[in-house]
Amino acid sequence: MTIQLLFPRFLALALLLLVVSAPCVAQQDDDTVLTVEEFPRIVSDVTVVTVPVTVTGPKGEYVSGLEMTDFRIFDNDVEQKIDSFDVAFLPISMVICVQSSSRVEGILPDVQKTAVLFTDLVLGEFGEAALIAFDQRIRLLQDFTADTATIEKGLKSITIGSDASRLSDGVYSAIRLLIRRPQNHRKVVVVISESQETGSEIGLGETLRTAQLHDIMIYPVRLSSLSARLSRTPDVPRDPFPPGVQARPTPVGGVSTPTTVMQQRNNVTGNVIPIIVDLVRGVKNLVFSNPLELLATGTGGDDYSPRTEDGLQESIAKIGEDLRSQYLLTYRPSNLNQSGLFHNIRVQVPYNSADVRARPGYWHGPDPVIAPEPSDPAPRP
């Protein structure tokens, strides 16, 4: 009799404890704070390598009309067989990563006007975008959507935080979101930020290595360069390409001038590739002053430095044009007999005056154990 009386009470207590201990599922709102723990690290082996390749002429104009036979690709100096060659427009999944620290408060209103540019000029008909803001927090302001009004609402909801800039954590969170998107989508992160890193839990090397592993390209729009001086680009007298291979003009609505060419061109320092290799390999105590350049160059993206509101809008339009102008090459590496190596990628075309841009390589093997990367010791103006 005593057991029968106690059993209902025991059952009720057990159900109450189960409800209390169950994980809560919070409804997403405009201030969903992301933590690094929410994105478990994914270890994946390399079987097929996809390499988006951009070919430009001496004035920065895109070169179209190339065929698969025009390309040679080398993996650690071993020539590879190109399995597929594509110039089709695949759907784009993009995460827009916006710095929301107090350092960019005066520029933020210009950024908030760019929603329609992303949907019309970058994403296209079948693309989608999510929105992350970062300062000392990493906030998911909008999950993936193709609606301009929704993206605009997300951009306008950005509020200014502290003067911290967890750049690597913000980009890493964007990468983890993109990993979950369909495999047949182009995956892109657009970072609108100063080139400054303070306080991230994830080192820049791990962020870069994860982006390379999952074929994710990073396009920074560098807010710290808005007041930079622009120099003239030297003229080139003649078209170096044969009939059938064309250099396309700048995007519709844009005028090619020394200013726009300088804003659009990737400004890569001579020693950035060795730094990228060391970052991905897990070398400690590296010193660098331009993390955005490393993220762009290390993933095959481009680095833009607008100086005005119009320049900001032109940079976003240029990102869309860049994505639509790429050749997609895939190959199965024939030299993966050793793990724990950085594999250098080199792509060639048979035109001396052409500039070929592709990601420099990828890490093959288990993730190296690395320490957080040092921050830029001197904040940029």
Structure-model confidence comparison of residues 227 and 192, the more confident one: 192
Collapsed DSSP state (helix, strand, coil) of residue 93 = strand
pLDDT of 349 higher than 50: yes
- pLDDT confidence bin for 274, thresholds 50/70/90: confident
Q: Where are the beta strands (DSSP E) in the chain?
A: 32-33, 49-56, 62-64, 72-75, 78-80, 82-86, 92-99, 128-134, 138-145, 186-193, 216-222, 246-248, 327-331, 341-348, 355-357, 361-364
The per-residue pLDDT for range 181-226, each reduced to its tens digit, is: 998 899 999 999 999 898 899 999 999 999 998 999 999 999 864 4
**pLDDT tens-digit map of 161-180:** 988 999 999 999 999 999 99
Examine the pLDDT at 108 and tell me if it is beyond 60.
yes
Q: Which H helix or E strand runs over 170?
A: helix 167-179
The yes-or-no verdict on residue 143 having pLDDT over 80 is: yes
- With beta carbons less than 8 A apart as the criterion, state whether 361 and 342 touch: yes
Q: What is the pTM of this model?
A: 0.76
| Residue 133 Rama label (left phi>0; alpha psi -120 to 50; beta) | beta
What is the predicted pLDDT for the residue at 48?
A: 87
For residue 209, CA distances in Å to 9, 267, 289, 342 come to: 54, 21, 19, 10
The average pLDDT across 302-328 equals 91
C-alpha atoms less than 13 angstroms from C-alpha of 81 in its C-beta half-sphere? 3
Residue 231 has pLDDT above 60, yes or no: no
Once rounded to an integer, what is the mean pLDDT over residues 2-25?
Answer: 41
The residue assigned the tokens 């209902």 is 8
Instruction: Identify the band that residue 6 occupies on the pLDDT scale cut at 50, 70 and 90.
Output: very low
Instruction: Report pLDDT for 216.
Output: 95
Q: Judging by DSSP bridges, how do beta strands 92-99 and 128-134 pair with one another?
A: parallel
Q: Look at the block and give the residue holding tokens 């919070």.
A: 26
Is residue 364 within 8 Å of residue 43, measured between CB atoms?
Answer: no
Closest C-alpha among 166, 176, 154 to residue 38:
176
Distance (Å, whole) CA 363 – CA 353: 30
pLDDT over 60 at 259, yes or no: no
- Cα distances from 154 to residues 76, 111, 366, in angstroms, run 43, 12, 37
| Structure token digits, residue 129 | 């975008």
Query: For the segment 59-90, what is each residue's pLDDT rounded down to a tens digit?
Result: 889 999 999 999 999 999 999 999 999 886 78
Q: Report how far apart, in Å, the C-alpha atoms of 164 and of each of 57, 101, 102, 197, 303 are.
A: 39, 6, 8, 8, 22
Q: What pLDDT is attached to residue 133?
A: 97
User: Does residue 314 contact residue 263 with C-beta atoms inside 8 Å?
Assistant: yes
Which domains does the chain show, CATH number per domain? 45-227+244-364 (3.40.50.410)
